[in-house]
Amino acid sequence: MVISTPHGNITAPVFMPVGTAASVKSLSSEDLESVGAQIILANNYHLYLRPGPQNIKKLGGIHTFMNWPHPILTDSGGFQIMSLTPRITDKGAYFKSHLDGSLQFLSPETTTLSQIDIGANIIMAFDHPIPAGASHAYAKEAMLRTHAWLLRCIKTWKDADLDRKFARSRTPLAGVEHEFSQDRVRNKQALFGIIQGGQYPDLLKESTKFIVDQDLPGIAIGGAVIGSNPSQTSQALAIIRDLLPKNKPLYTMGVGVKPSDIVSVIRAGADMFDCVAPTRLARCGLLYNRQSKTERLDISKSQFKLDKNPIDDTCDCSTCRDYSRSYLHHLFKSHELLYYRLASIHNLRVMIRTTSLVQSL
C-alpha cells in the first residue's frame, strides 16, 4: 500500500520512529534518513505545551521547524494525557502539565486546531484510551466518548478547511505568501479516527463500524490492549478485520517492542506502527540482535568488554558497520552521549528493515 502526502509517499507496512517533542531522541534528520525512516511521529501533547502550536506555525510548520522534509504524523495527546490522571468530561480532559504543573485543558476542538497549526501530514482524533483490564462498562463509556469526540474533531477539521478556502479567495497580502502556501499543505492534512473498545469483541466491532462510517483517510486502533501485547493486538485485529475497508491504511498505535511484534501484527493486517521501544530500549543498553532468543543483547554486560563483533552481523546500519560491541559497552558504561545515538540508529534500523522485509497480507 502506498500512502500519499504533500511531503511524499509512504510505502506500507511502515514503522514510524517516535519524535515526541519534534525530535527522535538523539537523532538528526540525516540519521533518520540513513535508517530508512519514511515518516516520523510527533506528539501534540508535548508540542502544545512547548514550544506551542502558534509558535511552530510562525516558524513555518513542523517540517521546517525540525528540518524533516518527509511525512510527519502527530498523535492528538489522548494517550499521553491518560498517564497524568486527568479529569475527563464529555467536554474534554483537564490535566496538569508535566512541565510546570499548570492546569491545562484539551478537547477534540483544541487538539485538532493545534495539530492543524503544527502542520503534520496525518493528524489523529482526540480519543479516550483505556488501561489494560478496564471493565466492559468503562470500556464502553470511553468508546462512546471517543466516537462523540471524533465527530467534533471532524467538524473542526472541516471548518478549518473552509476557513482556509475563504482566506485563499481573498487577494493575498504582500509578505503572507508563505502563510498561504503553508495553508495549502495543511489543507491536505489527513485526519485518522481511532477505534477503542479494549479487549471486548462487541465493543471493538461497534467502534470499528462507527469509525469506518466516517469515511476518513485512515483508521487507527488504540488503547493499552494494542501495543503492549502483540498476541492481544492480533486477536483484536482478527475480530475487526472483516469490517475494515481494504483501501485505507490501518495504524496500530504503540506497536512494537520487539522486531517479531511487527511481523505478527503485519500478518494480522496492520499497515502502520509506532513505538518508543526501539529508541528507549537502546538508551537502556538493550540492542536488537536476531541471533539472541530474547531478540536483544544487554550491552552493559561484561561479556561484551572485549567483543570485537558488531551488535548484529546481519545488520546494515552505520553503527554495526563502524563500531564494535566492546566500544559500545565502553561508551554505555562511561555514560558517553555518543552511545545513545549509535544505539538508537541500530535499533531503529532493525525495526524499519524488519518491517520492510515483511509482506503485508
Please report which helix (H) or strand (E) contains residue 40, including its range. Answer: strand 40-43
Residues 336-355 that bind a copy of itself (CB under 8 A): 336-338, 340-342
Q: Which of 31, 75, 127, 271 is catalytic?
A: 75
Task: Tell whether residue 280 is a contact of a copy of itself (CB under 8 A).
Answer: no
- 98 makes contact with a copy of itself (CB under 8 A): no
- Does residue 66 belong to the site contacting a copy of itself (CB under 8 A)? yes
Shortest Å distance, C-beta 58 to a copy of itself: 6
Part of the chain binding a copy of itself (CB under 8 A), chosen from 7-15, 158-166, 184-192, 334-342: 334-342
Is residue 270 within the footprint of a copy of itself (CB under 8 A)?
no
Q: 30 vs 242, which CB is nearer to a copy of itself? A: 30
Q: Which of 290, 292, 293, 300 is nearest to 343 (CA)?
A: 300
- Which amino acid would we find at residue 6? P
Of the residues 3, 16, 22, 142, which one makes contact with a copy of itself according to CB under 8 A: 22
Q: CA dist 194 to 98, 265, 344, Å? A: 25, 17, 29
Closest by CA position to 126, among listed 104, 162, 150? 150
If the CB atoms of residues 174 and 337 are measured against a copy of itself, the closer one turns out to be 337
> CA–CA separation, 211 vs 223, rounded Å?
15
Burial 146-155 (b: 16+ CB within 10 A, else e): bbebbebbbe
Residues 6+ apart with CB under 8 A from 116: 123, 157, 160, 186, 189
Nearest residue to 134 (alpha-carbon basis) of 73, 82, 93, 62: 82
Q: Does 301 bind a copy of itself (CB under 8 A)?
A: no
Nearer to a copy of itself, 58 or 155 (CB): 58
Comparing CB distances to a copy of itself, the nearer of 224 and 317 is 317
Compute the distance between CA of residue 4 and CA of residue 199 in angstroms, rounded to an integer: 32
Nearer to a copy of itself, 33 or 161 (CB): 33
- Return the half-sphere exposure (C-beta side, CA atoms, 13 A cut-off) of residue 48: 24
Residue 170 near a copy of itself by CB under 8 A: no
The answer to whether residue 75 is catalytic is yes
Number of residues that bind a copy of itself (CB under 8 A): 38
Cell of 14: 511502515
Our finding on whether 331 is near a copy of itself (CB under 8 A) is yes
**Catalytic annotation present for 298:** no
Among 79, 144, 156, 145, which Cα is nearest to 115's?
156
Residue 23 makes contact with a copy of itself by CB under 8 A? yes
Annotated catalytic sites, by residue? 75, 274
Contact residues: a copy of itself, CB under 8 A: 21-30, 50-51, 55, 58-60, 65-67, 305-306, 308, 318, 322-324, 326-327, 330-331, 333-334, 336-338, 340-342
